Structures are given as C-alpha cells and as structure tokens.
Copies of this chain bind each other. A is one copy, B any other.
Amino acid sequence: MELKLAFIGFGNVAREFALLLKSRADLLAENYNLTCRATAIATARHGCVLSTNINLDEAIGCVRRKENLAQISGATAAADPMAVIENCDADIIFETTPLDPLGGEPATTYIRRALGRAINVVTANKGPLAFAYHELKALAAGHGAAFRFESAVMDGAPVFNLVERCLPAVKVTGFKAILNSTTNLILTGMEQGRSFDEALAEARSIGVAEANSDYDIDGWDAAVKSVALANVLMGADARPRDVERRGIRDITCDEVRAAVRDGCAIRLIARADSTGRDLRLRVAPERVPAASLMASARGTSNVLVIDTDLMGRLSVFETAPGVEQTAYGLLSDMIRIHESMPPRLNSRASN
C-alpha cells in the first residue's frame, strides 16, 4: 500500500520526519507493507508546492539553502497552505506549522479544512487540542477521517495512545506533569548554580527555548498542554484561560538554593484534579522532595503522572527528548492510521 503525504509546515520536525521516512523505508515496507510518496508541501517562507511525487531530499535541500520549493522538479506552485489543503491529493496531511499559542492558529483552521475534505490529519500542534479538540474529533468522525496528535504533548512519548490503547475501561481522574522543557532546564540549571539568565541562555543555545521564551517562562506552554491532556484524556472541554497559571519568572536563585538546602527541588508542575463534576487546572512552580519522581525530571525531561480508577497511579517519563522523538510521534501516528484504514481504501490507494 502506498500513502500519499502532504506537509503543511516543513520546519525542523517535518524535515526530521522526512528523514525518518527515508531511513526507515525498508522497515515500513517489510513490516507494514507501506510505502510513502510526498505530494504537497506548504511553508510560510519557502513557498507552497503540489506535485505527483516530491523528492523530499530535494525539498530539504531547498529549505536549507533558503530557496523556494517551486524550483523542485515537477512541482507546481500553490498560493498558500489553504490552497494546498484544498488541492492536494493526499491520504494524510502532516500539520506542523508554528503555533500562535494563545489562539491555536493557524493550525486549527488548517486541520478543520483538511478533515472537512475527509483527509486524515496528523499534527504535532497542541493548540488544536486545547482550543477545538471536540469539534475536530467530531468533524473527523463525521467525515470518516483520522485525527492523530501523539506528538502534541511530550513529543513522541505515548501519552494519548497509552490511555486510548493500553488502558481500556479506565477513567483518568487527574494528573500532574512536567510538560515544558525550557522552564525545567532553567530550574535545574539554577539548582546547579547558574543564574536564571544564564540557564535561559543555555536553553536557547541548545535550541530548546525560542528567542521569545515568555510563553514558556510564564507557564502558557504548560497550560496549553495541560488543557490538551485534560480535553483528550479526561473528556474535559477546557480552554487555556481556565488554567490557574503562574510561571517561573519570579523564582530567584535564593529560592532554588533554599529548596535544595531543604532536600527539595522547584519544578513547574501542571495539575488536573477532578472534584466531582468540576475540573481544576493549575500550572505553578512547586517545591517537591528532591528524591521524588517529579524532581528526578531534570533538564529537558518530561513526566506525566496519571491517577486512574482501575490502574491506580501510573507515570510516563521521557528522558531528554529531542526533535527525533517528535518526528517519531508523527511516524507512529502514520502507522496507526495506515493500520486502521479499511481494506477498501487500502486497495484504492494502492492502485
């Protein structure tokens, strides 16, 4: 079976995924009877193209050289990402555009349009889950399309799939989590004696923090992710504005040192607690024992601790993730969509 793939957004994550498709082509063919062909790429700064078969190496080269994708052999230019979504001949659209964290756009609009065209969607964006999850889920179901998003929180570590596929009949009653790598890197850097600004500079130098890191530092990123988790895992219909949010901007080296002296550590912790019918969502720096699971998440590591009715307390810990893990999440979503495609679609697509 051949899958036709379209890329809306072709940044680090999408390009790493493209490399993964190439390096694992034999494995996908042998183990999953699956080959892939790229038919569209939409970017903000390198143009948008449609084709019958895009050479992804050529596309990656174009972007690296800061050239326009339109020069790729056999490609036709398209006006913008929406035109690509409207006109692409794809089985799956991979949506990885840069996100406006406070509105979930343009990802949500792109995904809405793709699902409306009955095209399967894989996204690495948390925004659509935090701002429009139930709408998009219903839209996907109504059009018989898949909507997958494992990489949206904790990169490719299975969190959504863990609950959906490995915890049947379980109700998630709450969670606590460390979800933002930049703030965790800053807090653990301060534990090691660096200043806030030094630790932030380090986070920037290794590519974890963006030039504008306010969104991380003020807890917005963790808040949006915790809403995504609550909406998907707990059936909530929350929005980021519902989160009681406090970032780490005011945390001083003195506070961090005092915590260490007391056998503790400070971590930016996202919490969801359901009390009867109410759900309380919080993001705040907390003092936790140094010998705890939460404190053991250092640097860019993330951890999700879920409380359940039948399986007690269960945690997923992701050690020092990078863009490779996010790209893997896209791959796992693609394989899952492939496996769940009805045989009829399978044969149609292979013609």
Contact = CB atoms under 8 A, between A and B. Distances in A.
Interface of A: 20, 24, 27-28, 31-32, 156-158, 161-162, 165-170, 265, 290-293, 295-296, 305, 310-322, 324-325, 328, 331-332, 335-336, 339
A339 B310 CA distance: 19
Copies assembled: 2
A165 B157 contact: no
B168 A314 contact: no
Nearest to A319: B313
Contact of A332 (B27, B161, B169, B291): B169
B169 A158 contact: no
Given A162-B162, A332-B166, A332-B167, A312 B295 contact: no
Contact of A314 (B310, B316, B335): B316
A20 B169 CA distance: 11
Given A296-B296, A311-B325, 4 more contacts: A170-B328, A305-B319, A312-B320, A314-B316
- Identify the 9 closest CB pairs spanning chains A and B, nearest first: A158-B166, A315-B317, A313-B319, A168-B335, A161-B166, A293-B296, A165-B165, A310-B328, A296-B296
Nearest to A298: B291
A156 B157 CA distance: 19
B314 A157 contact: yes
Contacts of A291: 265, 290-291, 295-296
